[in-house]
A and B are shown apart, each in its own frame.
Chain A
Amino acid sequence: MLASVLDTGDLVPHGVCLLWRPELLWLHILSDAATGLAYWSIPIALAVLVRRRRDLAFPWAFDLFGLFILLCGATHFAGIWVLWFPDYEIEGVLKALTAVVSVATAVVVWPLLPKVLALPSPAELATANTALVQEVQERREAEARLRAAQHDLVETARRATLGTVCAGVAHEMSQPVNVISLWVERARTLGDVPARVDRALGVVLEQTGRLGLLLDRIRLLSRQANGEGQIFDAVAATSALLDGTELPPGAELSLNLPQQALPVRGSLQQFTEAVGHLVTNAREALANTRRGRPQLAVEITHGTEPGTLAIELRDTGGGVPGALGQRIFEPFVTTKPLREGGGLGLSIAAGIAHSMGGRLDYRNLEDETGPVGAAFRLTLPLASPLASPLEPPAA
């Protein structure tokens, strides 16, 4: 069969059909040559594309297209060849191969179409990329704003702390200076004082007066650092503070905050610092207790007196030792180990409560098994008598 196909003995070249007319021959030769060369240039371009772009989707499809076009070109060159050499069998085999590859390509191209359409176009990728760049930029700006806000917060906290420390130092130092001043002044009035002793007492009195002026300046510094009083919502401020609070592992925080805003007057920074000290105190008590499941309950209710609110923190940290009593609010009085706390937090909180026209109380909590923990209650006056009263707590 193959032998008979390849046997070309009886056939005549295709040129005979064209009667060897030169214009017809040239027409066929030039047309086939141009078409064939053009066809063969395309697979070369495709081959270069597939080699260079390793990330192409469906690279085998490009190989298939290349082979299909290569064979199409070959049939045109065969068309020129058979003008002089009647090798129609070879031309036929080439056409048959072209047919097989063409049909295969045509069959493959349709299922491939939706997959290719699903690929994002360069324009889409560019849009997505632009959006991504914009998002990164927005994120950077948000981070910058966050850093600025954190810096502001640290700065106000630092100033508030400076103000509180100044106020505390002025208060503590004024006590002994006051005693010295009063006794010396009294001694000078007792009479029969030798002139030289009176002179000495006069110098001491004058110097305590200078110390008094220095203390006034420290108090002024404390006032400036704390900023002017403002009206703010104690509920929101407490809620914001608790949002950023971490309790010891396993400890549970239960909140009971009213829905409406409760305005108080004073320095927001100082208020936050005072409640922060109470939270820190509870947290450290919870961390040091071995009693059951540690719990901190925070509740804001109306105070016992009209026109006040009370922020109460109840912990299960064991409570304040009875011997300490109200001294817990004095500076440097603490139950904590030396490394953990300086004993200033509660005295600062009490001082702030006081400066806002309120007060800080505590009581120990007990159940049938013994002491449970402590409840610290910060009572503050509401800023406006028109402020809506809280619902009375359930009995």
Chain B
Amino acid sequence: MRAIRVLMAEDEVLAAEVLEEALSAAGFAILAAVDGQAALDLADHHGFDVLLTDLRMPRMDGGELIRLLRLRRPNLPVVVMTGYDPEEARLLEGPGPLRLLSKPLRIDQVVAALVDVVSH
């Protein structure tokens, strides 16, 4: 079975580093970007199955990144990691599957959410 390809946008480098390591160890293929704009650039040249994104990031935030990626792929599976009230992030609901995770995260939680939205 092919590894699930995850486009990950997280500006907190220490969180990104350990997430990439743990998710890779869990069998995912990670495309890591430091903010929304970098993730959008990566999306131009690489295929991926699911977007894992923080909300507040410099240059382009997670909300804008989701909006622009959905213009290309309306049913894109998305997992959002947020330090804000996840209720507020409900505005990000779209046609595709969406899971909202509240920080602090648990790796097994992230894994389960990624598998869940992809298999939706």
Question: Is A219 a contact of B84 with CB atoms below 8 Å?
Answer: yes
Interface residues of B in 1-54 (CB under 8 A from A): 12, 14-15, 18-19, 21-22, 25
Q: Within the complex, which residue of A167, A216, A330, A351 is in contact with B102, where a contact is CB–CB below 8 Å? A: A216
Question: Is B87 a contact of A208 with CB atoms below 8 Å?
Answer: no
Q: Within the complex, which residue of B85, B91, B107 is in contact with A170, where a contact is CB–CB below 8 Å? A: B85
Tell me if B55 counts as interface (CB < 8 A to partner A).
yes
Bitwise interface map of A from 162 to 204 toward B, beta carbon under 8 Å scored 1, else 0? 0000010011111101111111011001000000000000000
> With a CB–CB cut-off of 8 A, which chain A residues contact B91?
355-357
Q: Within the complex, which residue of A182, A223, A357 is in contact with B22, where a contact is CB–CB below 8 Å? A: A182
Tell me if A147 counts as interface (CB < 8 A to partner B).
no
Tell me if B106 counts as interface (CB < 8 A to partner A).
yes
Tell me if A86 counts as interface (CB < 8 A to partner B).
no
Tell me if B64 counts as interface (CB < 8 A to partner A).
yes
Question: Is A208 a contact of B22 with CB atoms below 8 Å?
Answer: no
Tell me if B58 counts as interface (CB < 8 A to partner A).
yes
Bitwise interface map of A from 346 to 363 toward B, beta carbon under 8 Å scored 1, else 0? 000001001111010000
> With a CB–CB cut-off of 8 A, which chain B residues contact A220?
85
Tell me if B56 counts as interface (CB < 8 A to partner A).
yes
Tell me if B115 counts as interface (CB < 8 A to partner A).
no
How many chain A residues touch the partner (CB < 8 A)? Answer: 36
Q: Kindly report which residue of chain B lies nearest to residue A354, judged by CB atoms.
A: B63
Which one of A178, A212, A326 has the greatest number of beta carbons of chain B within 10 Å? A178
A172 to B105, CA, bound (A): 14
Task: Given A354-B55, A359-B64, decide whether A179 and B25 contact each other with a Cβ distance below 8 A.
Answer: no
Task: Given A182-B15, A326-B59, A355-B88, decide whether A177 and B25 contact each other with a Cβ distance below 8 A.
Answer: no
Q: Within the complex, which residue of A208, A223, A355 is in contact with B104, where a contact is CB–CB below 8 Å? A: A208
How close is A80's CB to chain B, nearest CB, in angstroms?
109
Tell me if B103 counts as interface (CB < 8 A to partner A).
yes
Q: Within the complex, which residue of B18, B59, B81, B84 is in contact with A167, where a contact is CB–CB below 8 Å? A: B84
Question: Is B107 a contact of A182 with CB atoms below 8 Å?
Answer: yes
How close is A68's CB to chain B, nearest CB, in angstroms?
93
> With a CB–CB cut-off of 8 A, which chain A residues contact B58?
326-327, 330
Question: Is B15 a contact of A167 with CB atoms below 8 Å?
Answer: no
How close is B63's CB to chain A, nearest CB, in angstroms?
6
Q: Kindly report which residue of chain B lies nearest to residue A352, judged by CB atoms.
A: B88
Tell me if A211 counts as interface (CB < 8 A to partner B).
yes
Question: Is B84 a contact of A355 with CB atoms below 8 Å?
Answer: yes
Bitwise interface map of A from 315 to 329 toward B, beta carbon under 8 Å scored 1, else 0? 000000000001100
Tell me if A295 counts as interface (CB < 8 A to partner B).
no
> With a CB–CB cut-off of 8 A, which chain B residues contact A75?
none
Task: Given A178-B103, A182-B107, A326-B58, decide whether A189 and B25 contact each other with a Cβ distance below 8 A.
Answer: yes
Tell me if B96 counts as interface (CB < 8 A to partner A).
no
> With a CB–CB cut-off of 8 A, which chain B residues contact A211?
104
Q: Within the complex, which residue of A175, A189, A326 is in contact with B83, where a contact is CB–CB below 8 Å? A: A175
Q: Kindly report which residue of chain B lies nearest to residue A347, judged by CB atoms.
A: B56
Bitwise interface map of A from 42 to 72 toward B, beta carbon under 8 Å scored 1, else 0? 0000000000000000000000000000000
Question: Is B63 a contact of A178 with CB atoms below 8 Å?
Answer: no
How close is B58's CB to chain A, nearest CB, in angstroms?
5
> With a CB–CB cut-off of 8 A, which chain B residues contact A179?
12, 14-15, 18
Question: Is A178 a contact of B104 with CB atoms below 8 Å?
Answer: yes
How close is A170's CB to chain B, nearest CB, in angstroms?
6
Task: Given A171-B56, A354-B56, A354-B61, decide whether A182 and B85 contact each other with a Cβ distance below 8 A.
Answer: no
Question: Is B84 a contact of A186 with CB atoms below 8 Å?
Answer: no
Tell me if A222 counts as interface (CB < 8 A to partner B).
yes
How close is B107's CB to chain A, nearest CB, in angstroms?
5
Question: Is B14 a contact of A219 with CB atoms below 8 Å?
Answer: no
A328 to B74, CA, bound (A): 32
Question: Is A186 a contact of B21 with CB atoms below 8 Å?
Answer: yes
A231 to B104, CA, bound (A): 33
A178 to B88, CA, bound (A): 19
Q: Kindly report which residue of chain A lies nearest to residue B106, judged by CB atoms.
A: A185
How close is B55's CB to chain A, nearest CB, in angstroms?
7
Task: Given A171-B56, A326-B59, A327-B58, decide whether A182 and B105 contact each other with a Cβ distance below 8 A.
Answer: yes
Known contacts A170-B85, A185-B22, A220-B85; can you find 19 more A-B pairs with CB under 8 A? A170-B83, A173-B83, A174-B83, A174-B104, A177-B103, A179-B18, A180-B104, A181-B106, A182-B105, A186-B21, A209-B104, A212-B103, A219-B85, A222-B85, A326-B58, A327-B58, A351-B56, A351-B84, A357-B63
What are 7 sample pairs from A and B whose C-beta atoms fall under 8 A apart? Answer: A173-B83, A212-B103, A215-B102, A216-B102, A219-B86, A222-B85, A354-B61
Rank and list the top 6 A-B pairs by shortest CB-CB distance, nearest first. Answer: A174-B83, A171-B83, A174-B103, A357-B91, A181-B104, A219-B85
